[in-house]
Structure 1
């Protein structure tokens, strides 16, 4: 049975769900059981779950100049983990209840980088940390004109202070290689663009 049994959503039993904290994000504690690959039901487990909105990340790309637009901002999660908690990242934002991912991508490109994104190329949708978080990320490459990109953006009411960088794709890929860029969405998007650059430039040029 180990090789043939394929568990699915009906093989999870939520025994109890307790809300431990609710603010901008939420933390729940779950008591649950799930079926094992043997086919038997496993023992009861306790798991804490970080409940948050899904997110959108977009890599603005100028196919004519072969440049990407990246942003730099302070990240509290990086404090004490790396030498400098100001990270180089993609434009990103959270999805509100009635928004589509494409709407968020275009809105955040304006708010965080002062850019109009003409077209969006879906890259993938993925869980960044499914062992303890509900977040799912929608990842895009967006066609832009990087000629006049630059400056500092962000919403004052959200405490944002975001600096815009325009880099050649090769420089950005080198930053992935040397660890300057060390967050998942940026690494995935840049590596995807490196693999698909000719197709993207052909379609968008």
Structure 2
């Protein structure tokens, strides 16, 4: 079997969340952040033949890129990349030593729901990454939904973005690293039980993100 570009790109994104990875039998794949503050799931256009845990997905993807048009073969004990110019083997890792998602997320009742467009999300992610913000607040004041934060915990350095209207009042804090998703249109659902869901409008990609506790005033 071969990896499509779409599958390769999704796996590359997964590798930035957690190097540990379990190729699950079938096309539905997921990963969890090492902090366990985020779970990402999607359905790929590549279907895998069996469950196979691997310690470092990033190294695997570099190996795929290093070979000339490699085929991928799975067995119970190893994964083999066969290129026209060589082979690379990966031994099966013990899942007990890896950080892996244990089950599908059962999302609780939604309290707040809104859309964020591709251009808005692109501006948000690029600004947060460029200025090295640590956390961000999604806030509703009964009229507008505003994303606001400060940089390096400095109150004099503020990023603010209006993304829509709301008749509700709320304030939810997120760690920026958990928000890094592919640029897309998203439906955002937030539960006051401490979890948010960013669901792509163009694919099966879903990111479940922990809502952080408010900072002490």
TM-score bracket for this pair, using the shorter chain length? under 0.3
**TM-score, normalising length from structure 1?**
0.25
**Greater RCO (CA < 8 Å, at least 6 residues apart):** 1
Higher strand share: 2
Query: Which structure's residues are more often helix, by fraction?
Result: 1
